[in-house]
Structure 1
Amino acid sequence: MTIRASCHCRATQFEVAQAPATVTSCNCSFCSKRGGLWAYYAPTQFKLLTARDRISTYQWGSYIGQHHHCAICGCGTYSEFPSFDTGEQDFDNPRIAVNTRLFEIFDLDAVPVEKVNGRDDW
């Protein structure tokens, strides 16, 4: 079940290969201000449908993550990170975190929300 997503102005569009089983709400300084609910995918499960030059990127701290947003309307769209599945940074297995609030024709309220304490744990 492919799910399409777009920013507010629709200049940035992407799709993911399947619905998330859960979404993550993080209270770190960045996520709490951005307000997204995040689902995580392998790069093969994510397809950017927009020209890359329509997307802006923000990096901070250790610069291992790339946080993308629409260059026109500013909506936070997706981020790219190494996997942290083993507790360590695994650059051989990157992950895409997508803002599920941008999903089209999808009942986000039906998906369980996992809370992450990024403010204290990172």
Structure 2
Amino acid sequence: MHKGSCHCGKVAIEVETNLEQVIECNCSICSRKGYLLTFVPRAALNVIRGEDELATYTFNSHTVQHRFCKTCGCAPFGEGKMPTGEAMAAINVRCLEEFDRATLNITPFDGKSR
């Protein structure tokens, strides 16, 4: 179980993930914001605090709801559906606490061409 938050702390999350697969996408939003992402079933994510502090941004196909704090703008996660139709959450690993980022195995993903 990993805990995380936005920058100002108004939004806090916990997520059950092993961080075995982390991607760095080159699409327009991920590259500009510097996201490192891991994907989990939506049920593995719990918003501990600040659900009412979140705003939503969508673009392109509008299939992922990028959730961000209305105060600090930090985006700890997004929500959407897996190709199977299952609800998923895309966790911004950079918003998680207490793990060694140097141990991450980061896989590039070409979202720019999609």
- The TM-score normalised by the length of structure 1 is 0.88
Q: Which residue pairs with 1:47 in the alignment?
A: 46
Q: Of residues 89, 105, 108 in structure 2, which corresponds to 1:96? A: 89
Q: Which residue pairs with 1:107 in the alignment?
A: 100
Q: Post-superposition shift, 1:101?
A: 0.5
Q: Post-superposition shift, 1:19?
A: 2.4
- Root mean square deviation, CA, Å: 1.1
List per-residue Cα deviations over 1:70-122 (Å, max 9, x = no partner). Answer: 111001111111103xxxxx33x0110010001111112201001001112x0
Q: Which residue pairs with 1:69 in the alignment?
A: 68
Q: Does 1:59 align with 2:52?
A: no
Between the two proteins, the alignment pairs up a number of residues equal to 114
Runs of 4+ in structure 1 deviating by more than 6 angstroms, as ranges, are none
C-alpha distance in 2, partners of 1:47/1:26? 24
Can you give the 5+ residue segments of structure 2 that lack an aligned partner in the other structure? none
Q: Which residue pairs with 2:28 in the alignment?
A: 29
Give the letter aligned to residue 68 of structure 2.
Answer: H
List per-residue Cα deviations over 1:35-90 (Å, max 9, x = no partner). Answer: 11001110121111123210010011222110001111001111111103xxxxx3
Q: Which residue pairs with 2:78 in the alignment?
A: 79
Q: Which residue pairs with 1:12 in the alignment?
A: 11
Can you give the 5+ residue segments of structure 1 that lack an aligned partner in the other structure? 85-89
